[in-house]
Amino acid sequence: MVCLRSAGARHAAVAARLSAKPAGIVPDGVVNLPLGEPRFAALGPAYGQPVAALPLPDALRLYFNAALADQIGLDPRWCQSAAALPLLTGNAAWPGQTPSASVYAGHQFGVWVSQLGDGRVLTLAEWRAPDGSPVELQLKGAGPTPYARGSDGRATLASSVRELLACEALHALGVPTTRALSLAGSSLSVQRDELDTAAVLGRTAPCFVRFGHFEFHARHGTPQQLALLADHVIEHHFPYLANQPQRHAAWLAEVVELTAALFAHWQTLGFCHGVLNTDNLSVLGLTLDYGPYGFMERFRPHHVCNASDHEGRYAYTAQPAIGRWNCERLLGACAGLLAPQPEAAREQAQALLARYDEVYRQEVMRRWRAKLGLREARAGDAGLLNRWLTLLQRGKADFTLAFRRLADAIQIDPAEALICLPAGQDAALRDWLDDWRARLASEGGSPAGRASAMRRVNPRYVLRNHLAQAAIEGAQRGSSVELHRLLAVLARPFDEQPGAEHYAAPPAQGLELELEIGCSA
Ligand code: AMP
Ligand code: MG
């Protein structure tokens, strides 16, 4: 049986096992900031290098996440103070901390790249939150690092707004993700496909270690170097595994399970990451590095959200297999940590990949079932789901709204339900609705209770491209009003929000915004 802890329980377990030292404090002249506790940076020069941030000209505060600040132990008064902006843009140094960039490698679109790294990201500070859990604060777009490979080290305002919106939207949907703490715009121009201005995003996570970090040290470092990195991750993020006899294998099993669970969650929300390279996969199972992602609108299994992905390698339907492929790369890099003999390591890796399949299957069906309002697992569930998805595909239905409307169809009469469900296949849809209703009835329970349970897992509001685009265009004019409005709606994705109906709607027909979102950011 799969025993998968929820992210909340896992983090609670981590927090409880960490010696919950009270956060020290360093006066910064206005209020107190948490005392830094370099963790990753303390690993040494083989893992990264100190880098000074490049100042951001005419920094303009566009966003500050006060709720997140409070949760991670930053004083909200400081957030509102004039002292915060320079620190969160790289225009002033964080007291007592040396910013650094880390080196990693990765498979990009399936091709091995032997050196990548934080090219435009630096870790500004690491500390413990009031609940004892580790916090790492990064600035994205604060200038080039030794791993910039000739690029400018900057991030466009458009791509920064997109990362901010997506990670906060996914967080509100309950998906593990890195978080956005702050966003500042600037007068500095940056040239990509189009001319934009630069921005600096402050983002946090317990840590930003990627599969690619392990691939780098497996290829270029010593076995001890690789083991040190694994022990670092275990000590700070999986401390309950530290005393296990086979701690590295136990940890890799957790990474594989977390990854499978994350991908299952994405699939049932129609979320497409867009660039599932191994350097964009977190060893904590967080959604990381938001490039040309998309919440699928019209349901198309082969939907590709990244205009640069000509082969459809990262299409919606391909994501789960890509998650497995990426785990295979991680397990290959960590073979020496699994077992000293290659044959034994290979066998263990195969067992862990089978575990990926098992966890993915169980998690994805658990979530699909909940979306359909089914409480019990029964043999015909996959068939019922597939018939429904086929109806959505043929009816060119909006993925999010079709599931949301299904909750309404529990309580209204079938003829009315047909009006609000995928169009053009009335007979097939009526048959399906009959079967689905019969299945629900056979489980018992009140229709109202079931409908409200469905509304708790089928969001009404997701981040649609045209909504993100409106927030970006506002920010490009120096206004964060639309950004804040949209974030407020996305913070309560499952609630009916009177007055916010237009945020739930797909783009008007004929005006569908065909945004070409590629890798340049
Ligand atoms: P991404 O596609 O954003 O995941 O980036 C892939 C790699 O390219 C990472 O190593 C990034 O740090 C690096 N990179 C992307 N854009 C820039 C940039 N403008 N300046 C420096 N490095 C960059
Ligand atoms: Mg990346």
Q: What is the largest CA-CA distance in the chain?
A: 70
> Could you please report the per-residue DSSP string of 252-308?
HHHHHHHHHHHHHHHHHHTEE-S---GGG-BTT--B---SS-EE--B--TT----TT
Element (H, E) at 419: helix 414-419
Asked whether residue 272 falls in the same domain as residue 238, the answer is: yes
Asked whether residue 219 falls in the same domain as residue 93, the answer is: no
Asked whether residue 301 falls in the same domain as residue 432, the answer is: no
1 inside domain? no
Atom of ligand 1 at shortest range from CA of 116:
10
Rounded to the nearest angstrom, the distance between the alpha carbon of 39 and the centre of ligand 2 is: 21
Asked whether residue 226 falls in the same domain as residue 147, the answer is: no
What is the rounded CA–CA span in Å between residue 437 and residue 432? 8
Amino acid sitting at position 262: L
Q: Give the pLDDT score at 512.
A: 57
Rounded average pLDDT over 94-113: 95
- Position 8 pLDDT exceeds 60: no
Asked whether residue 39 falls in the same domain as residue 87, the answer is: yes
Could you say which ligand is closest to the alpha carbon of residue 109?
Answer: 1
- How does pLDDT run across 340-363, given as a tens digit for each residue? 999 999 999 999 999 999 999 999
Q: Is the CB of 274 under 6 A from ligand 1?
A: no
- Position 9 pLDDT exceeds 80: no
Q: Is the CB of 152 under 6 A from ligand 1?
A: yes
Rounded to the nearest angstrom, the distance between the alpha carbon of 520 and the centre of ligand 1 is: 9
What is the rounded CA–CA span in Å between residue 3 and residue 366? 13
Rounded average pLDDT over 272-282: 98
- Position 415 pLDDT exceeds 90: no
pTM score = 0.94
Q: Is the CB of 118 under 6 A from ligand 1?
A: yes
Using 50, 70 and 90 to split pLDDT, how confident is the model at 231? Answer: very high
493 inside domain? no
What is the rounded CA–CA span in Å between residue 343 and residue 340? 9
Rounded average pLDDT over 443-451: 93
Q: What value does the mean pLDDT of the chain take?
A: 91
* Domain extent at residue 385: 371-455
Asked whether residue 94 falls in the same domain as residue 164, the answer is: yes
Asked whether residue 240 falls in the same domain as residue 190, the answer is: no
- Position 97 pLDDT exceeds 90: no
Q: State which residues have CB under 5 angstroms from ligand 2, the bound ion.
A: 280, 289
User: How many domains does the chain fold into?
Assistant: 3
* C-beta of residue 49 within 8 angstroms of C-beta of residue 104: no
Report which DSSP code applies to 218: H
Rounded to the nearest angstrom, the distance between the alpha carbon of 191 and the centre of ligand 1 is: 14
Asked whether residue 193 falls in the same domain as residue 234, the answer is: no
510 inside domain? no
| Other CB atoms within 10 A of residue 313 CB | 16
- Position 196 pLDDT exceeds 70: yes
Using 50, 70 and 90 to split pLDDT, how confident is the model at 515? Answer: low
Rounded average pLDDT over 21-39: 57
Atom 11 in ligand 1: residue holding the nearest Cα? 119
> Could you please report the per-residue DSSP string of 137-184?
EEEESS---TTSTTS---EEHHHHHHHHHHHHHHHHTT--B-EEEEEE
- Position 328 pLDDT exceeds 70: yes
Q: Give the pLDDT score at 80.
A: 78
483 inside domain? no
* C-beta of residue 109 within 8 angstroms of C-beta of residue 86: no
Using 50, 70 and 90 to split pLDDT, how confident is the model at 514? Answer: low
Could you say which ligand is closest to the alpha carbon of residue 291?
Answer: 1
Atom 22 in ligand 1: residue holding the nearest Cα? 119
475 inside domain? no
Q: Give the pLDDT score at 412.
A: 87
Helices 247-269, 223-237: crossing angle, 10 deg rounding: 60
Q: What are the Cα distances from residue 140, in Å, to 63, 182, 193, 257, 380?
A: 14, 10, 19, 28, 47
Residue 151 tokens read as 């690029």
Rounded average pLDDT over 373-380: 96
**Residue 131 falls in the annotated catalytic set:** no
Listed residues 369, 399, 418: the one ending a domain = 369
Residue 500 tokens read as 């916010």
Report which DSSP code applies to 97: -
Asked whether residue 181 falls in the same domain as residue 49, the answer is: yes
What is the rounded CA–CA span in Å between residue 118 and residue 95? 22
236 inside domain? yes
Q: Which of 4-13, 119-128, 291-300, 388-397 has the lowest mean pLDDT?
A: 4-13
List, as residue ranges, the binding site: 117, 119-120, 140, 152-153, 203, 210, 280, 289
Rounded average pLDDT over 23-51: 74
Q: What angle do CA 75, 134, 60 make, to 5 degrees?
A: 45
Residues 6 or more apart in contact with residue 41 via CB below 8 angstroms: 48, 50, 98, 100, 123, 126
Report which DSSP code applies to 315: -
Could you tell me which residue, 487 or 516, shows the higher pLDDT? 487
What is the rounded CA–CA span in Å between residue 288 and residue 323? 13
Rounded average pLDDT over 109-115: 98
* C-beta of residue 320 within 8 angstroms of C-beta of residue 300: no
Rounded average pLDDT over 17-39: 53
Rounded to the nearest angstrom, the distance between the alpha carbon of 439 and the centre of ligand 1 is: 49
Residue 203 tokens read as 């983002």
Asked whether residue 323 falls in the same domain as residue 399, the answer is: no
- Position 508 pLDDT exceeds 80: no
* C-beta of residue 185 within 8 angstroms of C-beta of residue 157: yes
315 inside domain? yes
Q: Give the pLDDT score at 16.
A: 39
Q: Which of 28, 196, 279, 309 is catalytic?
A: 279
Rounded average pLDDT over 107-126: 97
Strand 25-27 relative to strand 32-34, pairing: antiparallel
Rounded average pLDDT over 373-401: 96
Q: Give the pLDDT score at 12.
A: 42
Q: Is the CB of 404 under 6 A from ligand 1?
A: no
Asked whether residue 339 falls in the same domain as residue 392, the answer is: no
Using 50, 70 and 90 to split pLDDT, how confident is the model at 325? Answer: very high
* C-beta of residue 83 within 8 angstroms of C-beta of residue 94: no
- Position 474 pLDDT exceeds 50: yes
Asked whether residue 22 falls in the same domain as residue 162, the answer is: yes
Rounded average pLDDT over 51-80: 93
- Position 23 pLDDT exceeds 60: no
Listed residues 339, 369, 399: the one ending a domain = 369
498 inside domain? no
Strand 134-140 relative to strand 294-295, pairing: unpaired
- Position 4 pLDDT exceeds 60: no
Q: Is the CB of 120 under 6 A from ligand 1?
A: yes
Q: What are the Cα distances from residue 258, in Å, to 177, 225, 486?
A: 12, 24, 29
Amino acid sitting at position 187: S
Q: Is the CB of 148 under 6 A from ligand 1?
A: yes
Using 50, 70 and 90 to split pLDDT, how confident is the model at 509? Answer: low
Q: Give the pLDDT score at 184.
A: 97
Q: Give the pLDDT score at 411.
A: 86
Measured between its terminal Cα atoms, the distance across the chain in Å is 43
Using 50, 70 and 90 to split pLDDT, how confident is the model at 33? Answer: confident
Listed residues 338, 369, 400: the one ending a domain = 369
Q: Give the pLDDT score at 296.
A: 96
Q: Is the CB of 146 under 6 A from ligand 1?
A: no
Rounded to the nearest angstrom, the distance between the alpha carbon of 51 and the centre of ligand 1 is: 16
